[in-house]
């Protein structure tokens, strides 16, 4: 899906960010300048492993509605996120407003122990492709037409607004998710100072059928991603929200997903181990 192709770096070479193509914050850059700066920045950003430098909490809510708008399912979870051996790790703390039971707690403890011992990766039990870093790809740049339309404030920081639409109504379909990506339009907000994507929104421009309409029809798909500047040269995703509606086989349904990360705190610096003190030689009795 488009989510997998619009990879806007959220991870993170040590040191300072790469130099960017000079522009100013008043006159809009060309899209070539903007995209070059964003790609260079996101490449550097991913090498920073920013997510492993902060402690934070994450709330996830998934709701399902029937054709009449009645909630048929509600799932909510809270995770505490922290690094293990330099790799981001998310530990499940609550499900549907309740602390984990003994069995669920044991599962999380075993998963954490496996990560600490190097036997398993750090992705959470309910992790997904949403946790992967995002960046511009050649495929994405070839699929859409981009236009810089102005400047707006995003959390009190000026950002260039970039609108994008499909290049044509007859784009190639190489894999099933292309059916959705080919019918998507949206906006990017790019920070004028640090060339980070501070916000992304996209939506389905027309309904999409799956397997000739027999398996289903996707009538609505909208997504918003917000990223926040925590410190100079440190940005993290803070809000992810998407809604989709359509027909699955013979049932009409709507899904709403909301994820929020907050309470960011830098990982405390590791305390230096005390240096061993050599024992003093014994003084022989005279």
List per-block mean pLDDT (blocks of 10 residues) for the chain, which spans 286 residues. Answer: 38 55 80 90 87 95 93 96 92 94 94 87 47 58 91 95 92 86 94 94 91 74 96 93 89 94 91 54 47
Residue 219 forms part of a structural domain: yes
pLDDT at residue 277 in the model = 55
Give pLDDT, residue 195: 93
Domain span at 87: 2-266
272 within domain boundaries: no
**259 domain-assigned:** yes
Q: What is the pLDDT of residue 273?
A: 52
123 assigned to some structural domain: yes
For residue 98, is it within any domain? yes
Q: Is residue 189 part of a domain?
A: yes
Domain count of the fold of the chain: 1
Within a domain: residue 142?
yes
Q: What is the pTM of this model?
A: 0.80
Is 130 within a domain?
yes
- 232-235 long-range CB contacts below 8 Å, 24 or more apart? 233/16, 233/17, 233/48, 233/194, 234/12, 234/48, 234/50, 234/53, 234/54, 235/10, 235/45, 235/50, 235/194, 235/196, 235/198
């Amino acid at each position: 899906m488009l989510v997998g192709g619009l990879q806007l770096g959220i991870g993170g070479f040590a040191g300072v960010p790469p130099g960017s193509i000079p522009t100013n914050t008043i006159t809009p850059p060309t899209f070539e300048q903007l995209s070059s700066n964003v790609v260079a920045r996101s490449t550097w950003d991913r090498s920073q492993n920013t997510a492993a430098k902060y402690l934070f909490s994450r709330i996830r809510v998934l709701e399902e509605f029937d054709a009449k708008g009645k909630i048929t399912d509600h799932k909510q979870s809270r995770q505490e996120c922290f690094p293990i051996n330099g790799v981001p790790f998310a530990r499940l703390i609550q499900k549907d407003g309740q602390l984990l039971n003994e069995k669920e707690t044991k599962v999380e403890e075993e998963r954490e122990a496996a990560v600490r011992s190097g036997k398993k990766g750090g992705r959470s039990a309910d992790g997904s492709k949403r946790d992967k870093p995002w960046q511009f790809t050649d495929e994405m740049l070839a699929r859409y037409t981009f236009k810089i339309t102005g400047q707006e404030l995003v959390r009190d920081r000026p950002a260039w607004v970039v609108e994008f639409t499909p290049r044509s109504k007859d784009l190639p379909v190489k894999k099933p998710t292309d059916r959705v990506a080919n019918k998507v339009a949206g906006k990017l907000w790019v920070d004028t100072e640090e060339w980070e994507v501070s916000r992304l929104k996209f939506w389905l421009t027309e309904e999409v059928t799956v397997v000739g309409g027999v398996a289903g029809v996707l009538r609505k798909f909208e997504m918003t991603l917000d990223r926040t500047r925590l410190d100079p040269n440190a940005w993290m995703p803070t809000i992810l929200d998407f809604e989709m509606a359509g027909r699955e086989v013979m049932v009409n349904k709507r899904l709403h997903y909301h994820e929020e990360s907050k309470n960011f705190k830098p990982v405390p610096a590791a305390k230096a181990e005390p240096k061993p003190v050599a024992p003093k030689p014994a003084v022989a009795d005279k």
